[in-house]
Each structure stands twice: as structure tokens, then as C-alpha cells.
Structure 1
Amino acid sequence: MIQQMYPAANHSYIYELNKDMQFAAAHYIPADEAGRCRKLHGHTYFANITIAGDTLDSAGFLVNFSKLKQLIHDRFDHSVLNEDAESFSSDDSNRFPTTEVVARTICEIVQRYLDGMGNGARCLQVYLRETPTSYCIYRPKAVSAHE
């Protein structure tokens, strides 16, 4: 992956890590307003996940990079996003696999994993590039005074 600078998420944690990855996936947007995107088509998505926290785990990681790849790449690479009924829906526009919803979904998947780690790490931002000229940034609302 080509090195790229990403917009920074503001926080006061002492550690921040970023994981870049790419995955190839197809999708369609089941809405008339989506125009040509109503038809099944594919992208090579480029994602950057920003995680921050104050406490490392017993191996000295905030989170293991390989676990992030397993959570996201292994789930979505070479898939049709619309077929992932746990994450996406053709009946609820808030769950159509748009770039915005895919970015939010990545954040939610990562945060669920982080919540189980017990070291208080937070997924602060997901940057998701769908095409060379189009990307989305998802930042969940702060959940504590720490951020």
C-alpha cells in the first residue's frame, strides 16, 4: 500500500496506532437515488483504522495488527457486502453498504473486539477509500471525558 497521510483524530491517549489494509469487495446500493451504483459492482477498498489507548496488553500491544486484519480483511475481502446480513441490509437505508456505512461497520466490529480486551482501547477513526477520488471518514462520538 502506498504511504498516505490521514486526517488526525483528536484525543488525549498516550498510544495511537494505525492499521492500513485493502480488500476487494462488490456491492450495490438498493436505492433509486444511487443511480448506476444500484447495479452490482466492485471496488478495491483502502482502509486505515485508528486505535488509541493508555494501557498495553500482556504482550505489549495496544492491539495486535494481525487481529485487525483478521477482523476486517478476512471478513470482507472477495465478498459481496450485501450478502453479509449481520452488517448490511437491503431493507434499511441506515444499513445499505455505502462507503459511510461500511466505514461505520468496520469501526463497530473493531470496537466490539476492543471492548473484550479489557485495556480500554478505542477505535477513534476509520478512513475508507472506495475509489481513487472518493473516501469517507467515520469517527464515533466520544464515549468518555478522556477523549
Structure 2
Amino acid sequence: MFELSQTFSFDAAHTLKRQVSPEEAAGSRRIHGHTYTAEVMVAGERQAESGMVVDLAVLRAVIADVRSQLDHHFLDEVAGLGAPTLENLCVFIYAQVRQHLPQVTAVAVSRAAGDRCVYRPRA
């Protein structure tokens, strides 16, 4: 079994309703942005004819499509995302990739502040 991953980044703005003190939540409620890094992981056996789990050009094309839905967008308005949390970004990216590549096994999304979320759906 092999696992491949491809990393990409995107910049996006959002708001977020948080359940912390009003002072801490105020900044999140205002429109603000982040640079996100996402990693898409695929796994499987090598295909006999190509020797690859997935052609990386295909993976990159699928990721480019997902990235175009997020990069320089207001995440609050991205259809199907829900609240723009790291968790929802993971699920959204996973679902978008899975439509084209059933070999996707996990998605991780992180921000420069050190926050990171990994989504691995149960089989």
C-alpha cells in the first residue's frame, strides 16, 4: 500500500461566530483572512500499467479545481462549506476531491498560526 500527498495553499477571508468571551470573539466576527495550507492524501496499490497509485497530474488538476473555489474567496459564501472552520474546510476539500478520486484517504488544513486539523473519514 502506498500513500501520496499533494500540498496546496490558498488565501481566503471569513467571519466566525465563536463561543468565547465577547472580547476574544470580536476579532473573529469581523471579516479577516488567513493563508491556509491543505494537504490531500491518496492511498492504494500501484496500477500495473502505470506503476502509480494516482497520476500526480490528475491529482494536481483536481486540486486546482478545489483551490479555485477557495482561493481569494469569502469563505462564508462558499456553497456547501458551512461555517468556515478548519474542520469544515477539511470535509469540504475531501468531498470535492472524492468526486474525482476515490483513493483520497485524508485531508489536512493548517494556518500559519500553528493550527492544524486532519480529517480521515471512517471506512
TM-score category (smaller protein): 0.7 to 0.9
Question: 1:113, CA displacement in angstroms?
Answer: 1.5
1:1-147 residue pairs with structure 2 within 5 A?
A: 14-29=1-16, 31-33=17-19, 35=25, 36-54=27-45, 56=47, 61=52, 62-63=54-55, 64-85=58-79, 87-88=80-81, 95-115=82-102, 121=103, 123-142=104-123
| Contact kept? 1:19, 1:68, Cα under 8 Å | no
CA distance in 2, matches of 1:71, 1:60: 25
| Contact kept? 2:18, 2:28, Cα under 8 Å | no
CA distance in 2, matches of 1:57, 1:38: 52
What SS does the aligned partner of 2:101 have? helix
| Contact kept? 2:40, 2:106, Cα under 8 Å | yes
CA RMSD across the alignment: 2.2
Give, as a single letter, the amino acid of the residue that structure 2 aligns with 1:140: P
Give, as a single letter, the amino acid of the residue that structure 1 aligns with 2:107: V
TM-score, structure 2 as length reference: 0.80
Give, as a single letter, the amino acid of the residue that structure 1 aligns with 2:19: E
> CA 1:55 to 1:80, structure 2 compared with 1: closer, same or farther past 3 Å?
same
CA distance in 1, matches of 2:9, 2:49: 28
Unaligned stretches of 5+ in structure 1? 1-13, 89-94, 116-120, 143-147
What's the % identity of the aligned pairs? 29
Task: Please identify, of 49-58 and 127-136, the stretch whose mean Cα deviation from structure 2 is larger.
Answer: 49-58
TM-score, structure 1 as length reference: 0.68
Give, as a single letter, the amino acid of the residue that structure 2 aligns with 1:139: R
> CA 1:81 to 1:56, structure 2 compared with 1: closer, same or farther past 3 Å?
farther
Paired residues, number = 115
Task: Please identify, of 32-41 and 74-83, the stretch whose mean Cα deviation from structure 2 is larger.
Answer: 32-41
